[in-house]
Chain A
Amino acid sequence: MRPADNTNELIKKLQLKASADLDKRVHDDISRALAESQKTASVGTRPNIWRTIMRSPITKLAAVAVIIVACVIGLSLWRTTGSGIALADVLARVEQVKAFRCKSSATINPGKPDGVEFRGSSVFSQEYGSKHTLEARAPNGGWEPVGERYFYPQKKMFVQIGHPIKTYFRWEVDDAEAQEQQESLSQYIDPGKLLKDIMACKYETLGRSIINGVEVEGFRTTDPNCRSSFSRSLIKDPQAEHDVKIWVDVKTRLPVKCEDFASGLDEMENPGIIQCITTDFEWDVPVTAAEFEPPGVPDGYAVVNARPEPSDEEAAIQGLRQCVALFGKYLESIGDGTEATEIIFLAIEKSEAPAVLRLKEKVKELMEDKKLDRVRRAGWPLRRLIWFYVRLMQDKKDPAYYGKTVTPKDADKVLLRWKLSENKYRVIFGDLRAETVSPGKLAELEKALQKW
């Protein structure tokens, strides 16, 4: 035995191996638990992603934003469904509308124990902007406020209030962004956009029906291109089923009800059902500027002044730059379906690059609950890169990423590319220079990549 002053070191050397019998026992138990949880999932008690998100204070604000925006999905959906003459009439009528109100509801896994239910109301004005409020079903069966979102084109400002996290989020937009938002707001009366959407969708007529005593005509599409952004954000399954309906008042030629149903697997590969309904439209309602005034900061709410950071080409380049700064090379993969957080954490965990080691050293001293936040902050540009790539995939922009083989020194190698139009591709090279090229040139560049 070594001298006793080495006792502590000796204790650290104690090492037994778990037996094969223990391995089997534990793995069998885990398998049983997995089988049971899958069985339970069929009756809907597995945690769904949105319940998880709403439990997390970190993600609540983002969730509130998505859900509030989702309140208006019906309004954009009806642009993309419908039939020739009837919808042309609808379009003509809506073009004249200056302001309207509507109510929306969104239910995830309706009727199941893990179901999450939201409801919201919206008012739009060409002149004053928009206002949305959102509530969630409370455990006691009542409704509790989740958030509010305001856009003021004249003040070029957004305000978003997250009630569960007591945060008052406010950011200003520049002229271009304000214009973009305003155009986005009035897109539903853009005849060109409408016609394009109709031509891109296969639809059928549902004939006539009565909704709340109003005679309506229905149109239906199961074309996945007509998916709402809300169901798109939740149901990741390419095999998911979609069913979008719009009901139009046969007298006024204005929408009465929009329905969006999607069924498939969510990002955790749990089966999920999303049902969104927009109804109670009030067209051409009188509105006043006062109704759209920014609300004050509620007592006890933290104020966050910020600008939303877009996930665009510039963000992608910043993210790639951050890869090099942290890891000394590019991430090997950014779009294989793995979540951004997971990609970044794994990359940081595996890396022994000096910057990563410094980061690890810094977080070591932090309190447990601060460590994740610190790593998240360091990885923020990477998240925007990953989100950008995911959006390119979602928008079917034919993206490709070659971080596995291309290094920062490969100035002429294609690192990331995506389609701009039929005749143009955007390419970010290994040295982070960006260029627009023809499909032929891209093929040439990528051929060289294969040889290399």
Chain B
Amino acid sequence: MLEDKLLIWKFNRGNRDVLRAIYEKYKDDLVTLAAALLTDISSAEDVVHDVFVSFIESTEKFRLTGSLKGYLATCVANNARNRNKARRRHHKIALDNADPAGADSNSPEFSALFGEQLRQLARALGQLPYEQREALLLHSYSGMKFKAIARQQGVSINTAQGRYRYALDKLRSILDGEARK
């Protein structure tokens, strides 16, 4: 992604206007990722907003290296995870249970936004344990490598791969079940 290299190069030279180009390029992907992680549209937009606010504030504090898309996806995942934890605490739900936010994926708004074709997938994603859903989305949707996902989740690469496989199997199982109905 040479265009990203150019964006990073400009960003590292203190050009803040480049933030607009970065936002415009990745906003839809990031909102989608956040929405799929949290199964909640308005929270997803808040996540992306928070990520960009931090990004804007940090322009003079650090230099970007590596993948821009990966960096932003990681920021979104971190922010979404924090929100998810807070929400879990709020609802006093056990960590091993499926994410209660998954229920939101049944909402007409969520279905309408994702489109009917993907509605079942979105609902099925909401039924996965959060860490598995995160590993699956970061790999399959954001294209992150397992090494990066492992670092982001603070686990070994094997664990990250395991979470991805479990998530995929479970998702297939849910979708197959839905298909048989």
Contacts and interface: CB of A to CB of B under 8 A. Distances in A.
A391 B58 CA distance: 36
Interface string B109-137: 00001100110111000000000000011
B20 A52 contact: no
A375 interface: yes
B49 A12 contact: no
Interface in A48-62: 49, 52
Interface in B63-110: 65-67
A47 B45 contact: no
B14 interface: yes
A421 to B, nearest CB: 39
A8 interface: yes
Contacts of A371: 2, 5
B53 A29 contact: yes
A373 to B, nearest CB: 11
Contacts of A451: none
Contact of B176 (A4, A13, A342): A4
A14 B53 contact: no
Interface string B7-36: 001101111110110010001111110011
Given A4-B171, A346-B6, A18 B45 contact: yes
B140 interface: yes
Contact of A33 (B9, B57, B137): B57
A103 to B, nearest CB: 32
A14 B60 contact: no
B11 to A, nearest CB: 11
B65 to A, nearest CB: 6
A97 interface: no
B151 interface: no
B150 interface: no
A268 interface: yes
B2 A17 contact: no
Contacts, number: 128
A75 interface: no
A404 interface: no
B147 interface: no
A7 interface: yes
Nearest to B13: A52
Nearest to B24: A23
A16 B2 contact: no
A377 interface: no
A187 interface: no
A289 interface: no
Contacts of A14: 32, 36, 114, 118, 121-122, 141
B16 A34 contact: yes
A1 B120 contact: yes
A159 B3 CA distance: 37
A30 B23 contact: yes
12 contacts: A1-B121, A10-B121, A11-B140, A13-B118, A14-B122, A18-B28, A22-B31, A29-B53, A46-B14, A268-B13, A345-B6, A375-B2
Given A18-B45, A52-B12, A52-B14, 16 more contacts: A1-B175, A7-B172, A13-B117, A14-B118, A16-B41, A16-B44, A17-B31, A22-B49, A26-B23, A26-B27, A30-B52, A349-B3, A349-B6, A360-B2, A368-B65, A368-B66
9 closest cross-chain pairs (CB), A and B: A4-B172, A18-B27, A47-B14, A11-B140, A16-B32, A345-B6, A349-B2, A22-B45, A33-B56
Interface of B: 2-3, 5-6, 9-10, 12-17, 19-20, 23, 27-32, 35-36, 41, 44-45, 48-49, 52-53, 56-57, 59-60, 65-67, 113-114, 117-118, 120-122, 136-137, 140-141, 168, 171-173, 175-176, 178-179
